[in-house]
Amino acid sequence: MNANKEILAFLGELRINNNRDWFQQNKTRYTLLQKEFVREVQDVIGRIATFDAEIAGLQAKDCLFRIYRDIRFSPDKTPYKVHFSAYMAAPGGRKSDRAGYYLHLEPGRCMLSGGLWCPPPPVLKVVRKDIYENIDEFEEILNDPEFRQFFPQLEGETLKRVPAGYPADSSCAEILKHKDFCVVHQTNDSFFDSADWLDKTEKIYKKVQLLNRFLNFSVDEFAGRV
């Protein structure tokens, strides 16, 4: 069973009715769809593990993000997120400090993503240093034609200037400005409703694995794991 069409329909309704009364009235429906999403994420983990052994054994329940929003310090007081999402990285799933694979279901904003999002400044410093010293290898990953078919550019927040310690006229100046090193493949909703969505997802994530391996060497280097 492919439940993604029903998940997206539920999320579309939640976007219009983002309040506790509606959610409580539809709590049973949400619970059933969340269980289906857990099952699907476990299937995705199994596919990733065929080419990235580090992911083997990861549990979907550790990768899912809660649907409940933290509204304590937000001007937006709507109580629920309008997406289902999971971050698959080892160890720890969504709590991992390492580069991984991100799955996001949201009406009109579905995506498959990967890489390293918002690393703490000390880790970012190590990542930048390793990129600068191994720029040919890093650019070879980004410029691979099959990689660029799905991920045409690095995404995320950037600095206005090249960070201190690096030449402003460096050929990799634009890369070094990045505060995130992630890539995003936007899909239409029908992507996840197709019978072969798992096959297509595996193919796309397989292109992320080399990027993750490069970035995780830096993350593990900082953490003393290498």
pLDDT band of residue 222 (cuts 50, 70, 90) is confident
Give the pLDDT confidence of 57-97 residue by residue, as tens digits. Answer: 999 999 999 999 988 888 889 999 999 999 999 999 999 99
CATH number of 4-223: 3.30.930
pLDDT at 16: 97
How far apart, in whole angstroms, are the C-alpha atoms of residue 153 and residue 143? 9
Average pLDDT over residues 148-167: 95
Place of tokens 């995506």: 111
pLDDT at 179: 96
SS3 197: helix
Of 147, 139, 143, nearest to 185 by C-alpha is 147
The domain limits of the chain are: 4-223
Tell me: pLDDT of 181 over 90: yes
Average pLDDT over residues 34-61: 97
Tell me: pLDDT of 200 over 80: yes
pLDDT band of residue 226 (cuts 50, 70, 90) is low
Of 164, 142, 171, 14, nearest to 78 by C-alpha is 14
Tell me: pLDDT of 225 over 80: no
Neighbours of 168 (CB within 10 A): 8
Query: Which residues lie across from 61 on neighbouring strands?
Result: none
